[in-house]
Amino acid sequence: MYGQYTKELGDYVKGRQQNIPAPAIHGSTNEEFSKYGGKISSTLEVVWRHSFAKLSEDWVFLTLLGLVMAVLSFAMDYGIDFTNEGRIWLFKDMTFNQYLQYIAWVLLPVSLITFAAGFVHLVAPQSIGSGIPEMKTILRGVALKEFLTLRTLIAKVVGVTATLGSGLPLGKEGPFVHIASITATLLTKVITSFKGIYENESRNTEMLAAACAVGVASCFGAPIGGVLFSIEVTTVYFAVRNYWRGFFSAVCSATVFRLLAVWFNKAETVKAFFPTHFTMEYPFDPQELTVFALLGVVCGIIGAGYVWAHRQYVLFMRQSKRMNSFLQKK
């Protein structure tokens, strides 16, 4: 009897086990995990796309802009030095005839100036001048036609190189602000991953403000001066977030610009761009401190007086009806 009940009980348990459905705990857990995991990954992707991706994109863009401007500035300096040395070589090589020396000394600069003026006029007249007033206009939201194009960049680079190579007492600080802005615009158009900067008007303005700082830094190797120049010249209201962007890109440009001079044997090591030669024992006399202080006071008074006089002049021109009617006569 006991064996019969035991056998039937075993068969009963086996049957019940076969009829009981398998637990769905693991399956539902996997489905819920995959569901929530998909939501989390999509959320992280959106956050990355709209925050960190743009942030990293900006820093990569600023680094590339600094590198390109450093190479371009060094190449232009090389061309300027080459033309200046060629002028001196022609002058020294014609010592046998004084008239030929005069012709060689005058002919090369005049030829370079004529070439620069003609090239700029034919290729891109928009590249005439320093470009700073136009950049201030663009940063205020005004669109200037063909001012930030490749043709303007080529005309600007060739014109500045030929003009400075002629020996004229000019600088490349202003033109390089324009060149850096053109380079920044072209990078946003050419490289696909940077097109979002060009399409977004606010980000495009921020990158142009940083490019102005890079233009100064790539000329003199002065990143802090470049940022201060960008704040002073470009815009009336300078966003705080643009400080670090301009400084970072300016540091990249200034560092590479100074290192290129060392790598190509133009300098033995990285040193001051305009070194001084003061004596270490007596750099100045104590009596000179009074003169320095007096000079600062006088210059401050003259500067404040000029600002006051200019303000009074502007107010007078606005309020004087006779002067306005006189100036508006045709």
Please report, for the chain, the start and end positions of each structural domain, with discontinuous segments joined by +: 55-271, 281-318
With cut-offs at 50, 70 and 90, classify the pLDDT of residue 200.
low
Tokens 């005004």 found at: 142
Whether residue 90 has pLDDT greater than 60: yes
pLDDT for res 55 = 54
Residues 65, 249: contact at Cβ < 8 Å?
yes
pLDDT for res 189 = 79
With cut-offs at 50, 70 and 90, classify the pLDDT of residue 3.
very low
Which range scores top for mean pLDDT: 42-51, 200-209, 317-326? Answer: 317-326
Q: What is the DSSP letter of 236?
A: S
How many residues does this entry show for the chain?
Answer: 330
Which position has the higher pLDDT, 98 or 16?
98
| pTM (predicted TM-score) | 0.67
Please compute the mean of the pLDDT values over residues 281-308 and round it to a whole number: 89
pLDDT for res 174 = 83
Please compute the mean of the pLDDT values over residues 184-207 and round it to a whole number: 69
pLDDT for res 145 = 83
Torsion sign across C-alpha atoms 191, 195, 197, 198:
positive
- How many Cβ atoms are within 10 Å of 68's Cβ, its own excluded? 20
Whether residue 82 has pLDDT greater than 80: yes
With cut-offs at 50, 70 and 90, classify the pLDDT of residue 5.
very low
Read out DSSP for 88-124? HHHHHHTTT-HHHHHHHHHHHHHHHHHHHHHHHHHH-
pLDDT for res 216 = 82
**Percent of the chain surpassing pLDDT 70:** 72
Read out DSSP for 266-278? S-SS---SS----
With cut-offs at 50, 70 and 90, classify the pLDDT of residue 48.
very low
With cut-offs at 50, 70 and 90, classify the pLDDT of residue 196.
low
Mean pLDDT rounded to a whole number for the chain: 77
pLDDT for res 25 = 46
Please compute the mean of the pLDDT values over residues 60-76 and round it to a whole number: 88
Please compute the mean of the pLDDT values over residues 102-110 and round it to a whole number: 84
pLDDT for res 293 = 93
b/e burial code for range 2-22 (CB count within 10 A of at least 16 → b): eeeeeeeeeeeeeeeeeeeee
Which position has the higher pLDDT, 9 or 110?
110
Which position has the higher pLDDT, 27 or 175?
175
Q: Does domain 55-271 have CATH number 1.10.3080.10?
A: yes
- Distances in Å between the Cα of 196 and the Cα atoms of 179, 251, 258 are 21, 24, 31
pLDDT for res 294 = 95
With cut-offs at 50, 70 and 90, classify the pLDDT of residue 227.
confident
Whether residue 141 has pLDDT greater than 80: no
The structure tokens listed for 215 are 């233009």
CA distance 164 to 178: 16
With cut-offs at 50, 70 and 90, classify the pLDDT of residue 312.
very high
Three-state DSSP string of 168-181:
CCCCCHHHHHHHHH
Look at 24-28, 105-109, 132-136, 194-198 and tell me which has the smallest mean pLDDT.
24-28
- Distances in Å between the Cα of 233 and the Cα atoms of 82, 136, 302 are 32, 7, 21
pLDDT for res 155 = 92
Q: Position 154: which residue type?
A: I
Torsion sign across C-alpha atoms 192, 198, 199, 203:
positive
Whether residue 53 has pLDDT greater than 70: no
Q: Which of 166, 169, 168, 170 is nearest to 88 (CA)?
A: 166
pLDDT for res 190 = 74
